[in-house]
Amino acid sequence: PLLMQSSNDAAKILSSFIGEGVFVSNMNAKATSLQMADTQFADASGISAGNISTAYDISKLLQYIYYKRPFLFDISKGVAFESAGIVKIGDVIKVNNLKNVNEFIDEPDLIGVKNGETSAAKQTMATVWNIHAPQGDVPMAIVVLGSENRKNDTSILLQWLKENFIVL
């Protein structure tokens, strides 16, 4: 639910296992380890106006996920998993009953997506796409912050990339 629906309740539940303060401290430590110098987390769900970041820092997180935790992108697109390690998925919440509110999940070139919206940040979206080049596919991140229409803004940037990206 956290990756597919941006569920604030899911964030609270996940953070409750060790306490939200420790959880947020761990989030900030991870951001530091990824050299996300302009990122600060204030709560687990992202609702607080104290949660700040930049498109550049978010691109570092997307790169980390792409290379180290790609299953998170699969989940964001709604790929069903029967288990995650020793944890059986679907015992409490039927995974097939979860509605995915992420845009672009049916696009074949989408690698992963996460959207959000708060009054302070407006609409946000972080996506990673396969951009086709003669030398092969190249993963490209598009990060939209402070948007009035994140889907449209992402579409415009994606179209520009497809028309103008050249591998040298």
Quote the CA–CA distance of 101 and 118 in Å, as a whole number. 15
For residue 100, name the pLDDT band (cuts at 50, 70, 90).
confident
With a pLDDT cut of 90, the percent of the chain lying above it is: 67
Give the residue among 20, 47, 58 at the shortest CA–CA distance from 144: 58
Nearest in space to 7 (alpha carbons), one of 132, 85, 126, 117? 117
β-pairing verdict for 136-147 and 87-88: unpaired
The whole-model pTM stands at 0.86
As a whole number of angstroms, the distance between CA 16 and CA 23 comes to 8
Work out the mean pLDDT of the chain and round it to a whole number: 89
Kindly state the tokens that stand for 141.
């991140």
Decide which of 118 and 142 is more confident.
Answer: 142
Task: Calculate ∠ Cα 73-25-50, nearest 5°.
Answer: 80
**Do you know the residue count of the chain?**
168
Handedness of CA 108, 123, 37, 28 (dihedral sign): negative
Backbone CA torsion sign across 88, 63, 40, 22: positive
For residue 61, what pLDDT band results from cuts at 50, 70 and 90? Answer: very high
Any idea which residue has 């009054």 for tokens? Answer: 119
Q: Tokens 């039927």, residue?
A: 94
